[in-house]
Amino acid sequence: MAAKYAKVVNSIVKGILLEGGEVRFTVTSRSMEPTMKVGDAVFIKKVPTEDLQEGDIIAFQADDVIFTHRIVGKGEIGGNIGFVTKGDNAERADFPIRAEQVLGKVVRIDSSNCE
C-alpha cells in the first residue's frame, strides 16, 4: 500500500517541479551529513539537466524513492546525459542515474538546528 502512495506523491512532486514550482523535503537520513542533517528542510527546483555540474546537490528518483545526493560525475549513459551521485557521508558512489530520473536541484537548505 505504501508503494502505491509513493507513486502518487512522486507524480505530484514531478508535476509541481515541471510547472516551475519549488518543493520542500525534510531530510530523513544521515547520508548527506555534514551538509544536510536529519530534520533540515531542502528546497528543490527544476533546472535543465545539461546545466547541472559536479558538486551540485540534486533530488532524483530511483524506483519509488527520492534521494538527495551530490553529483560526483557527469557523462553519458546510452547516448544520453547521465550522472553519478554520492551522499557526502557515504563511502561509495551510487549507481549511475539517467537525466530523466533527476527531479531538480537543491536551491536552499534550512537547518533545523537539531542535534
pTM for this model (two decimals)? 0.88
- Is residue 65 situated within a structural domain? yes
Q: What is the pLDDT of residue 110?
A: 95
The count of domains in the chain is 1
- Is residue 78 situated within a structural domain? yes
- Is residue 17 situated within a structural domain? yes
Choose among 16, 6, 4: nearest CA to 104.
16
- Is residue 115 situated within a structural domain? no
Q: Are 86 and 92 in contact (CB under 8 A)?
A: yes
Which of 14-28, 68-82, 84-98 bottoms out in mean pLDDT, i.e. has the lowest?
14-28
Count how many Cα atoms sit within 13 Å of the Cα of residue 57 in the half-sphere of its side chain: 18
Over residues 14-70, the pLDDT tens digits come to 888 888 889 999 999 999 999 999 999 999 999 999 999 999 999 998 887 889 999
How far apart, in Å, do the first and last CA atoms of the chain sit? 33
Domain that holds residue 90: 2-110
Q: CA-CA distance, 25 to 12, in Å (whole number)?
A: 13
- Is residue 22 situated within a structural domain? yes
CATH code, domain carrying 16: 2.10.109.10
Does residue 115 surpass a pLDDT of 70?
no
Count how many Cα atoms sit within 13 Å of the Cα of residue 8 in the half-sphere of its side chain: 5
